[in-house]
């Protein structure tokens, strides 16, 4: 029987790499909650509400996907409260793995019932990071291969607002 997993992240913005990891997770788990982490130490381009709407639109055709916001608190506690069997994390490179490995060990200590599952995105997205997408988009570069059309529209509108 497939179980519930959570896929946490800032998702600022939600990229095709994120979508690829989510689609892979849905082949393993019956339901995946995309958990938008509201991190007060990070300055984001999009509000939590905008990111939530963005992900809901991009994933509307993916059965078993829901979107929730974590307003502070520990991810391990959230996973426990949600009844999640696993935390899904995308790993693009060795640097990602080192950080994610530390986090998975800490989460295991805080909640031994939850397993962290590392998924690698399609090779086409291994160098795609939200921060790079924001920077390239800000400078007028074409990021259409790396984000859903709805996300692209939201990026364009956001940077039009900033440039006026």
Active site residue: 51, 52, 104, 130, which one? 130
Indicate the fold that domain 4-127 takes in CATH: Rossmann fold (3.40.50)
Q: Dump pLDDT digits (tens) for 41-56.
A: 778 999 999 999 999 9
**With the CA atoms of 28, 69, 19 and 141 taken in that order, what torsion angle do they form, in degrees rounded to the nearest 10?**
-160
Mark whether 52 is an active-site residue: no
51 is catalytic: no
Domain boundaries, the chain: 4-127
**Could you tell me the pLDDT band of residue 1, with boundaries at 50, 70 and 90?**
very low
**Known binder of ligand: residue 11?**
yes
The average pLDDT across 77-102 equals: 88
At 40 the pLDDT is: 61
Q: Is 148 a catalytic residue?
A: no
Is residue 129 part of an annotated ligand binding site?
yes
Q: Any catalytic annotation for residue 130? A: yes
């Amino acid at each position: 029987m497939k179980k519930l997993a959570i896929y946490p992240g800032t998702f600022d913005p939600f990229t095709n790499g994120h979508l690829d990891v989510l689609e892979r997770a849905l082949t393993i788990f019956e339901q995946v909650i995309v958990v938008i982490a509201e991190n007060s130490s990070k300055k984001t381009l999009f509000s939590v509400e905008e990111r939530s709407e963005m992900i809901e639109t991009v994933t509307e055709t993916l059965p078993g996907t829901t979107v929730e916001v974590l307003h502070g608190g520990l991810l391990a506690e959230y996973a426990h409260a949600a009844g999640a069997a696993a935390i899904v994390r995308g790993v693009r490179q060795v640097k990602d793995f080192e950080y994610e490995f530390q986090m998975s060990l800490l989460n295991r200590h805080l909640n031994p019932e939850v397993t962290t599952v590392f998924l690698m995105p399609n090779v086409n997205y291994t160098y795609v990071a939200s921060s790079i997408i924001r920077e390239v988009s800000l400078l007028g570069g074409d990021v259409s291969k790396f984000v859903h059309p709805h996300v692209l529209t939201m990026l364009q509108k956001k940077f039009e607002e900033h440039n006026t």
